Amino acid sequence: MQVTIDPHSGFCFGVVYAIGVAERELHKNPLLYCLGDLVHNNMEVERLKKAGLVIISREDLYELYDCKVLIRAHGEPPETYKIALQNRIELIDASCLIVLNLQNAIRRAYLEMLQRDGQVVIYGKEGHAEVKALIGQTQETAVVIGNEDDLVKIDFSRPVRFYSQTTKSVDGFHKMVKMIGDRMEAVSMGKPVDFEWNDTVCRQVSNRSAKIREFAAEYDVVVFVSDQKSSNGMVLFQECKNINPLTKLVSGFSEVERAWFDNARTVGICGATSTPFWLMEEIANGIRKIND
């Protein structure tokens, strides 16, 4: 049985950068606080915890003083920076540059919409760390939509500036663009519609969809490695599943079942932008031993 790892899977550059920053800081000092999981992968988080990384919540931040706290790739709302100043906390900012650019764009749109009685709308996952940071740029006033049912949150008679969480589906975003535009046209009574949208999906993430579909089609069985709390991971897993129904989701080798490979000649291993390559290699080697 041939077992192959997808060369296009694994960390995106934003996650690589954040982990690199964490490792450099831990090399200098074996204690570093991090606001939330550095990456949506429990195995990688555990590896970093052993090196001295301490995961904290935003509530914990209020109780910390005179220490270093890492901001992960997802970014943080302005309130986090205010607390850090008050508590003499040194922030080690590892926010993804694409996320930071999006935050700045949403902040400008918010100020514009204040003047025009408009709304900032974000296509994203409610409660996701990146989305929380984006909402923070609008004084918590942005409208978050994840599907067609959420469109009821929007007032289609008012101006709209529409953005996307960086890890969402491009197709899903453009579907929402059309729906919002159509509904604004329907209530405009022939007047010009004030609707501007910005496709802010990260192309390093979105381009993986096409590559992972091609990869999934080449193998009898596909093992997709991801933590279920990874938004990007669940999108890519579904892309694989749509192409190859014999796609299995695991977070570690302990979840792999021997029976999956009874009639398989080829097995593909792939993962999310939050899946470490070492974990995919570990699972690939375990499957090879099953075969032996």
- Catalytic site positions: 130
Query: What number of other Cβ atoms are within 10 A of residue 231's Cβ?
Result: 21
In SS3 terms, the chain reads as: CEEEECCCCCCCHHHHHHHHHHHHHHHHCCCEEEECCCCCCHHHHHHHHHCCEEEECHHHHCCCCCCEEEECCCCCCHHHHHHHHHCCCEEEECCCHHHHHHHHHHHHHHHHHHHHCCEEEEECCCCCHHHHHHHHCCCCCCEEECCHHHHHHCCCCCCEEEEECCCCCHHHHHHHHHHHHHHHHHHCCCCCCCEEECCCCCHHHHHHHHHHHHHHCCCCEEEEECCCCCHHHHHHHHHHHHHCCCEEEECCHHHCCHHHHCCCCEEEEEECCCCCHHHHHHHHHHHHHHHC
